[in-house]
Amino acid sequence: MLAAVMVVEGILRTPDAEGHYDTGWGLYQALAKNSRLYLLSASWTEEQCALWLAKRHLTGHLGYLHQPTPGPAGRLEALNRIRSWRIGLVLECDPTCAAAELGDGWNTALITHAAYTQPQWRPDYDHSPRPWDDLTNAVERQNELRLTPHSTEQP
């Protein structure tokens, strides 16, 4: 069974607000029913997040992770605490964090909401291409991480 981590802010909950995204709500329902779902929040404590989720009857996830430090380094620190859980997918809303996660060997799905996406985050943004050596190094690093044995310990 797939184990997945969903970032709360930007996928399920609108950042810095009480509202939710319908798309995130649907993803939560599908993943909670068909996978081992964990939630990750950089803004709220476990208690705050649990209250917000309970008000919306979103109770199907298995656990909660707190990211004490903002940004990609904090996201990786939180994810690396659970590396032995054999997480198959991280649902991410921040392209900078997604890039760091991919570079660290995590399978990542970037979820964006058209109304809230910064222009430089969009796939159709016109920017210069990445150098070929950077791409090949990234692929080699991901293969190396994939082949590195991990603990089979489950939560």
The average pLDDT across 30-45 equals 92
DSSP assignments along 2-15, one per residue: -EEEEETBTTTB-T
Query: Which residue in this structure is represented by tokens 């599908």?
Result: 30
Give the pair of three-digit tokens for residue 136.
């090949």
Helix H or strand E segment including 143: helix 132-147
Tell me the pLDDT tens digit for each residue of 52-85: 999 988 989 999 999 988 899 999 999 999 988 9
What domains are there in the chain, each with its CATH number?
3-147 (3.40.50.1000)
Residue 74, phi then psi, degrees to nearest 5: -65, -40
Q: What is d(CA 67, CA 88) in angstroms, rounded to the nearest whole number? A: 19
Distance CA 144, CA 134 (A): 15
CB-neighbour burial class of residue 123 (10 A; exposed 0-12, middle 13-18, buried 19+): exposed
pLDDT at position 119: 56
Range with the lowest mean pLDDT among 32-46, 88-102, 106-120? 106-120
